[in-house]
Amino acid sequence: MNGGHFRDLFEAALDGTLGAADRERLDAHLAGCAACREEIEFARRLRKRAARTAPGLSAAEMFRIRSGIADRIEGRAAAAGPRRLIPVPVLAAGLAVSVLALWFASRLRGPLSWERPEPALELKLGPAAPELRRGQFEALGGLGGTAVAARPEVEVLFDFETFPELQRATIVGFAPPELAAPGYSGRRALRLARGGDAAAPAEIRMRLAAGMSPSAVTAWVRCGRAPATVKLAAELASGAVSEAAPARRVLPGEWRWVAFSLDRAAVERGGGIVELRISIECAGPVELDRVEAWKGRLK
Amino acid sequence: MRGEEIARYEKLSDEAAMAACGRDEPGAFDEVFRRFAARVFGYLYHMTRDRELARDLVQETFLRVHRARERYDSGRPLKPWLFRIAANACADVRRSWIERLARRTRSLFQPPSGGADPAAPAGQRPDARAERDVIGERLRAELARLPPAYREAMILRDLEGLTCAEVAAALGKPLGTVLSLLKRGRDRLRVRLEAAGGKESWV
């Protein structure tokens, strides 16, 4: 485009605010200028495309942002600020410190409400995910559930952000009951830690609202130093058992994807309310990164 | 009453709603938020390409809007004022070393993305919804590769539909600069999209 003075007309044409006389002038220019024709055509297509490209904000997300603003306006919840502005390692270190503090407190004042960790406590700080050793870890979760299991702490994170629909899920129970969620932050809905007795599995039951029936469950696992076998299954509270994923061998150092599908009909027979329990059996030391259930067919 | 508040503000212009917010009238801030949150999010998402960060920035933007509510001059259009606040919030994060550090360290903590396991069947990943929009994704990706000055002008003008004068006011740049940023940005984007997949393929 060489005619700089046509740019105003050009942009006005895009907005549809061009007068008749100006339109004529612009058309005359466009007739002789291929570059301008291409540009205006491109800009128009871009605008049409924009509506479909818009990332969109769900009602749940809007609600959460709005509540976050309200919190900050009223000076509540210092943590409600833009969380990303706090580096992840600081959060991780903070969490680790509080876990340590709790552990020392439990040693000094006798048992807390939750099981005391084994004396041989190994806490790893830093990015390396802790290991889940031989034993069973069970989590009852829904879409976008994330589980991080460790020894001696088990941490379960349900990421309500990944799937805003999860806002409609209700956490209805924990076993053992001492594991009740210490807090609900909205962003990371649930975080719990417990002692390292792997023989007593933790269980979280989540009730999903109607229409949320997940049809597939995946877990990301990685093992530490030795190969491990990972088996994943889900059970509906109604008693219907889903197809289990075959045990999968995981080699050290690589993330593997373990998945199975749920019997959709069985899920839907639950009468609108679905309770789902996901269990992960591990033989050998593994890091369990996250468990996810999502809609859609697996095959 | 919530219903009455909604009815009261619905008919107001953007500027009048914001002015009401400046007078701390109940519900006015909610109305401004309701009208603009998604658009501000769209702008911030295209700028950052990070949903969570964009959401945080929407929160930051509206918090700043709330803090500045009494300084808003209702004689001036609201949209440019609002997007200017969003652009500043976005620029602050870009400048912040904390964000750069967080970005760098995030990869250490994040599990592999859906594509990490070749055994995972295509279309089965958690972000399958996003994958379906291949063309939109390419557009977003190419847009993200433009220099920030071009990108912010184009997002406001071509994706959010502001007028050139509004874009100029939002970015605090002269109109002539905005016009030339738009032209050069569109040229670059078009060349890249067409190089990637032919002339018509991306629409």
- In the A/B pair of chains, how many CB contacts fall below 8 A? 151
Give the three-state DSSP class for A247.
Answer: coil
Among A8, A16, A47, CA closest to B175: A8
Model pTM? 0.50
Highest mean pLDDT pick, A127-141, A166-180, A281-295: A281-295
Q: What is the ipTM of this complex?
A: 0.74
Burial classification of residue A135, based on how many CB atoms lie within 10 Å of its CB (0-12 exposed, 13-18 middle, 19 or more buried): middle
Mean of the per-residue pLDDT values of chain A: 51
Residue B49 token pair = 């390409």
Looking at residue A151, its pLDDT comes to 29
pLDDT of B177: 92
pLDDT at A152: 25
Q: Chain B partners of A221 at a C-beta cutoff of 8 Å? A: none
In the prediction, which pLDDT does A104 show? 52
Q: Which of B117, B122, B109 is CA-nearest to residue A254?
A: B117
Nearest CA in chain A to B51: A55
Would the pLDDT of B131 be above 50?
no
Residue B170 dihedral angles phi and psi, to the nearest 5°: -65, -40
- pLDDT (tens digit, 9 = 90+) per residue, A215-242? 444 444 444 444 555 554 555 555 554 4
Q: What pLDDT does B160 receive?
A: 85
Q: How far apart are CA B46 and CA A49, in angstroms?
A: 14
Q: What is the pLDDT of residue A245?
A: 52
Helix, strand, coil fractions of chain B, as percent rounded to 5: 75, 0, 25
Instruction: Among A67-71, A151-155, A167-171, B104-108, name the most confident range.
Output: A67-71
What confidence tens digit (pLDDT) does each residue in A72-110 have?
777 654 433 344 444 556 666 766 766 666 555 444 433
Weakest-pLDDT range from A29-43, A277-291, B14-28:
A277-291
State the pLDDT at residue B40. Answer: 93
Answer yes or no: do A84 and B121 touch at CB < 8 A.
Answer: no
Residue of chain B with shortest Cα separation from A87: B102
Helical H segments across chain A, by residue range:
7-15, 20-32, 34-53, 59-73, 88-108, 264-269
B46 Cβ under 8 Å from any chain A Cβ: yes
Question: Residue A204: its pLDDT value, please?
Answer: 40
* Interface touch A43/B158, C-beta < 8 Å: yes
- What's the pLDDT band for A293 if we cut at 50, 70, 90? very low
